[in-house]
Structure 1
Amino acid sequence: MMREFGLAFNRHFEKWMFIIIPGSLVLGFIFADQLQSFIPFVPYLFAYVTLTMAIGCGLGQLRVVMKRPGIMALTFLIAHVLSPLVAYGLGILAFGADSPYVVGLVLFTIIPIGVSTVLWVGMSGGSVPLMLAMVVLDSALSPLVVPAGIQLFFKSAVEVEAGPIVLDLLVIIVLPTIIGVALNQFSRGRIQHAVAPYTSPLSKLCFVAVVSLNASAIAPHLDKLKQDMAVLVPLVILLVGLCYAFGYIGTASLRNDEQQITVSYATGMRNISLGIVLALGYFSPLAAVPVVLSILIQQPLATLHHYVLQKLNKGKGGESAATHVR
C-alpha cells in the first residue's frame, strides 16, 4: 500500500510542480520566523535530493554521454559560458557592475543543470538517459565550474574563498552523486525501481523544504527589494527565457529534434536550490534574490517551453513527444 501511495504522490507532485514549488517559496516568506531555526539543515536536505537523483543513473548512462562528447561540450558551453556572459552584461546594464544582483544573475547561469530537467525532457520527447547523465556529470563538475566562474567574472570584486565552496559542493553534490551511481551500478540498476516509491516522495518533500527554508532566510531583506522589483523581475524572466532559447537555437544545426529538446531544457533549467544555498552562504543576501525569483519563473517557463515544443513538432509533422522517450 505504501508503494502505491508513493507512486501516486510522485505523479501528482510532478503534475503540479509548477505550482507547488512557487507555493513553497511563498510559504517560506509567510512563516519565515518559524522556519529560521531550521535553515542549517538545508545542505543535508539537499544532499539527500542529490542522492535520490543519482540512484537513477548508472555507469552505462554515463557512457552514453561519453560517446557524445560533442553534444555534452556544446551544452556546457551554452549553459556555463554563453549564458553567464549574457547574464553579466544584462546585470551591468540594469544595475551597474557593483550590484549584488549581478552576482546572483551570473550565479544562476553557472550552477549545475537542474534535476527537474529529466521530468520535462521525458514529457517533451528528448533523451532521458542523455539528460540524466548530463545532470550527474554537470553536478560532479560543479566544484570546479562554480568557483572558477565567480573568480572569472568578479575576481577581487567579490570577496569569497573558493575552498569552502568547493568543500560544500563536494559534500552536498559530488559525494551523494558518487554514492548514488555506485548503488545503481552494484544493484545493476534494480535499486531505483525498488526504492523509488519510498525515496522519491521524501526527496520531493526535501526539495520543498529547501525552497521554503531558503525563502525564510531571505525574508528579512524584503524591504530592500521593493524598489528594484520593477526592473529585476522582467530581467530574470528575460534571462531564463534566453537560456531556454540559447539551447534550442544553438543546436538547430544538428538537425536532431531529440538532442535539440534535451539541450534546450539543460541550458534553461538550473539547480536553483543549490544556487540559493551558495548565494546565502557566501554572498550578500541580495545576491540570492535573482536565484529565488528564478524559482517562480523557471517552472512556468518550462511549461510554456513544453507547449511551444509540441507546436513546433506538430508543425514539422513529427510524431507525438511520448513516442520519442527512450
Structure 2
Amino acid sequence: MFVIIPGSLVLGFIFSSGLQPYIKAVPYMFAYVTLTMAIGCGLSQLREVAKRPGIMALTFVIAHVVSPLLAYGAGVLLYGADSPYVIGLVLFTIIPLGVSTVLWVGLSGGSVPLMLAMVVLDSALSPLVVPAGIHLFFDTAVEIEAGPLIADLCILIVLPTVIGVALNQISKGRIQGIVQPYAAPLSKLCFVGVVALNASAIAPHLDKLGEDMATLVPLVVLLVGACYALGFIGTAKPHNREQQITVSYATGMRNISLGIVLALGYFSPLTAVPVVLSILIQQPLATVHHYILQKLNNKTAGKPKPSQVR
C-alpha cells in the first residue's frame, strides 16, 4: 500500500491528460474490486456478526456518527460551513469501511471474519448511510438528488456484494480459492486504475489549493488518527483485545476509492482533495497503529497474572 497508492496518485497526476478520457471506466473497475472482496464472505460469517449486534452497532456509531461530527466541526472551524473541504472531510467519514482493513486486522491479531462481515454489511447499507449523512450535514448548503446517488451506490456496492456473497454460498466457499490467483491481481490493477484515473480528474484543479494545503494536510492527519483512536478507546471497556483491534481499524480506514468516485461525481473537484489526502495518510497511520498495538500487546503480556503475584 505504501508503494501502490502514492505511485498510482503520482501516475494519475503526471499522465492526467492522457488518462482523463478513461475516467468513465472507474465505476466498473470499482464494482469489480467490490465483487472480489465480497466473494470471500459467506452467510455463515454474516450470521457470526448477527450474534454480536452490540459491537457492530458501536462500530457504525463511532464510524458514521461520532467521526462525521468531529470532521464537520473541525472543517467548519477552519474553513467555514460552505467550504468544499468540509464536504470532503465529512464524506470521508460516512463512506463504508475499507476493504484493506481485513489485511491489517489479520496482521494485528483481530477478528478477520468479524471485520470482513462488517465491511460487507456496511457496504450494503451505504445507499442509506451516505445520502442520509449528506442530507443531515449539508441540507441547505449542497443540492444533491438522493435518487441517483442511491442508484449509483446500489450498482457500485450493493449489487457486486450480493453477487459475491451468493457465489460464495453456492460454491460453499470454494470459489475464492479457485478464482483468487486470477481475480486478486486483476482487482489490484483495478484499484490502481481507480486511484490513478481519479487523480487525473483532480490534477487540473490543484493550482486552486494554494495556501490551504498548509492547514488541510495536518487536519486530515489529525482526523484519520482520531478515527483510529475513537475505535480503540470506544471499545476499551469490555477488555476484549481481539474486538478492540478489529473495531479500531474498522473506524480508522474507509473505502477511499468510493469516496473519490462520489466526490468527483456529485461535488466540486476540491471536495475530493481531503479524500485523496486521506488515501495517502490512512495507510501509513495503519502502520503506526499496528506498531502501537504490538507495543501494547507486549506490555500486557509482560505483566504478571494475579495468580503469579500471589
> What range describes the TM-score normalised by the shorter chain of this pair?
over 0.9
Among 246, 267, 271, the residue aligned to 1:262: 246
| Partner in structure 2 of residue 49 of structure 1 | 33
Matched, 1:242 2:219: no
TM-score, normalised by the number of residues in structure 1: 0.92
Cα offsets for 1:72-124 (capped at 9, x unmatched): 00000000000000000000011011100000000000000000000000000
Range that drifts further, 156-165 or 56-65: 156-165
- Partner SS state of residue 253, structure 1: coil
Matched, 1:191 2:175: yes
| Partner in structure 1 of residue 138 of structure 2 | 154
Alignment-mate amino acid for residue 50 of structure 2: M
Among 40, 51, 74, the residue aligned to 1:90: 74
How many residues in Structure 1 have an aligned counterpart in Structure 2? 303
Among 130, 152, 158, the residue aligned to 2:114: 130
Among 63, 72, 96, the residue aligned to 2:47: 63
Matched, 1:220 2:195: no
Q: CA deviation at 1:289?
A: 0.5
Among 286, 303, 309, the residue aligned to 1:302: 286
- Partner SS state of residue 263, structure 1: helix
Over the residues paired in the alignment, what is the CA RMSD in angstroms? 0.9
| Partner in structure 2 of residue 35 of structure 1 | 19
Q: CA deviation at 1:254?
A: 1.4
Matched, 1:281 2:272: no
Q: CA deviation at 1:22?
A: 1.4
Q: CA deviation at 1:226?
A: 2.2
Alignment-mate amino acid for residue 307 of structure 1: Y
Among 106, 109, 113, the residue aligned to 2:93: 109
Q: CA deviation at 1:312?
A: 0.6
Q: How far apart are the structure 2 equivalents of 1:20 and 1:170?
A: 27
Identity of aligned residues (%): 80
Q: How far apart are the structure 2 equivalents of 1:86 and 1:208?
A: 30
Q: How far apart are the structure 2 equivalents of 1:236 and 1:99?
A: 15
Q: CA deviation at 1:26?
A: 1.2
Q: How far apart are the structure 2 equivalents of 1:237 and 1:172?
A: 28
Q: How far apart are the structure 1 equivalents of 2:269 and 2:144?
A: 14
Alignment-mate amino acid for residue 44 of structure 2: G
Q: How far apart are the structure 1 equivalents of 2:11 and 2:54?
A: 42
Alignment-mate amino acid for residue 55 of structure 1: I
TM-score, normalised by the number of residues in structure 2: 0.97
Alignment-mate amino acid for residue 255 of structure 1: H
Q: How far apart are the structure 2 equivalents of 1:301 and 1:137?
A: 24
Unaligned runs of 5+ in 2: 303-310
Q: How far apart are the structure 1 equivalents of 2:289 and 2:156?
A: 30
Q: How far apart are the structure 1 equivalents of 2:202 and 2:134?
A: 21
Unaligned runs of 5+ in 1: 1-16, 319-326
